[in-house]
Amino acid sequence: MTANTAEPEEHTADPADRRREQRGWYFYDFACSVYSTSVLTVFLGPYLTSVAKAAADAEGFVHPLGIPVRAGSLFAYSVSVSIVVAVLVMPLVGAAADRTGRKKPLLAVSAYTGAAATAGMFFLSGDRYLLGAFLLIVANASLAVSMVLYNAYLPQIAEPDERDAVSSRGWAFGYTSGALVLVMNLVLYSGHESFGLSEGAAVRICLASAGLWWGAFTLVPLRRLRDRRVRPQGEGAVGSGWRQLRETLRDMRRHPLTLSFLLAYLVYNDGVQTVISQASIYGSEELGLEQTTLITAVLLVQVLAVVGALGMGRMARTYGAKRTILASLAVWTLILAAGYFLPSGAPVAFFCLAAAIGLVLGGSQALSRSLFSHLVPRGKEAEYFSAYEMSDRGLSWLGPLVFGLAYQLTGSYRDAIISLVIFFAAGFVLLARVPVRAAVAAAGNPVPERI
């Protein structure tokens, strides 16, 4: 055991209370997924790039802090910086949550910081590319921190044999909200002239509305989730944050199989996150597709991701989560290979690729989360999920960085996308080598019949 002597947090034993918490838990996915969909995936990349191009010099470069950056790379670099910021904050928040048992106030602070930054994107206009980069960094880092706390509730509100289904429903809720808001975005954006709005104003309203949605629906989990009591510690959580981080890292070395899963997840999820954040840039800048086409494609992804998350959750009950994830990684590899050869100006082919992405996106993410929940020692959920979130969003900086560097060096987004195949192929090999049943047992948790 480490110096963290907090008692294991109590689980919700009563089925009715547990279901009530689960329904509240789903709604944070419903709240924050709109940011990932409307802001990060659809609107902000192309719009921030256009703002940066308006501020660029004759060679197409902007100069934040005196550093020459190609305008087309600013968005990818900003995503990478936001992830570095999140890496510095997430372990401290996870340690504080486990030491105090007060996840909910920390969830509220991180969620509303991100929602406020997203709503502030309404003021992103003209050549204010620095404002856009700053708001992106704050919002993206806040989302990552809030997801540490959100994910840490999963082992407390779901029994081991429920977690694949509960995690998949959470992702399904998120993709449902993303689809609903994208429909409204599509109506507003495509008909902006009839509403008396310029194209830029319509985009800024879509960006800001995602922040308002995030803040409004966060009220549901804050009302329904409850904090668990822990034994008071001798030191304050803030003062001992860095010490607890070192203790957590030392403790994780005692669970090498859990670390092996995290390494595999870090690699293949880097590819997933890069596809999510750079898809609109690739579609608009490299394939020459209209914004309405991109919105429709992402809407298709959202709808099919609900089906995929629930369908892969059922597959996991038959074949196990590990085998189902491995199958999804094989499909991801084929998708990226097809994307490299996708012809420009071909919306139907782009829609087919979006459909394939939707069917594997939700399931691969949901099952990864539920599988990891079995590998976490009891009483250390937030600390270990901070490490998971570092793999999920916090350490997924390499893909966007490579993507941005490839464009900076070659001027072609198509040259960058083929590198993502490496992430999925390597992740497949690493995950295949993890003996998950032994990993669950080594963490001191009951081993499900199928995993």
Q: How is residue 12 written in tokens?
A: 């919700």
CA 445 to the chain's CA centroid: 26
Please compute the mean of the pLDDT values over residues 344-371 and round it to a whole number: 87
Strand 69-70, strand 61-62: pairing: antiparallel
Structure confidence at residue 106 as a pLDDT band (50, 70, 90): very high
pLDDT given at position 174: 87
**Can you tell me the distance from the alpha carbon of 47 to that of 129, in angstroms, rounded to the nearest whole number?**
10
- The stretch 320-348 carries a mean pLDDT of 90
Average pLDDT over residues 167-186: 86
Over the chain, what is the mean pLDDT? 84
Provide the whole-model pTM. 0.73
CA–CA separation, 428 and 377 (whole Å):
25
CA 371 from chain centre, in angstroms, equals 16
Q: Which residue has the higher pLDDT, 11 or 360?
A: 360
Give the residue-averaged pLDDT of 73-85: 86
**Model confidence over 267-287: pLDDT tens digits?**
898 888 888 777 777 888 788
Question: Tens digit of pLDDT for each residue in 417-436?
Answer: 777 888 899 999 999 999 99
| Range of weakest confidence among 85-94, 118-127, 136-145 | 85-94
Annotate 43-69 with b (16+ C-beta within 10 A) or e (fewer).
bbbbbbbebbbebbeeeebbebeeeeb
8 Å CB contact between 445 and 378 = yes
Write the CB contacts of 342 (distance below 8 Å, at least 6 apart in sequence): 287, 349, 350, 353
Least confident residue range of 132-146, 195-209, 216-230, 294-308: 294-308
Q: What is the pLDDT of residues 10-36, one digit of tens each?
A: 455 577 888 889 999 999 999 999 998
Q: Which of helix, strand or coil describes residue 361? A: helix
Query: What is the C-alpha separation between 374 and 376, in angstroms, rounded?
Result: 6
Q: pLDDT higher for 70 or 391? A: 70
The rounded distance, in Å, linking the Cα atoms of 197 and 171 is: 33
Mean pLDDT of 213-218: 97
- The answer to whether 69 touches 81, Cβ cutoff 8 Å, is no
Tell me, what's the pLDDT at 430?
95
Percent of the chain whose pLDDT exceeds 70: 90
> In 3D, which of 308, 428, 429, 432 has the Cα closest to residue 361?
308
Distances (CA, A) of 344 to 294, 349, 356, 436: 13, 9, 18, 42
Give the residue carrying structure tokens 């044999």.
Answer: 161
Q: Are 49 and 74 in contact (CB under 8 A)?
A: yes
Contact partners, residue 270, CB within 8 Å, separation at least 6:
395, 396, 398, 399, 423
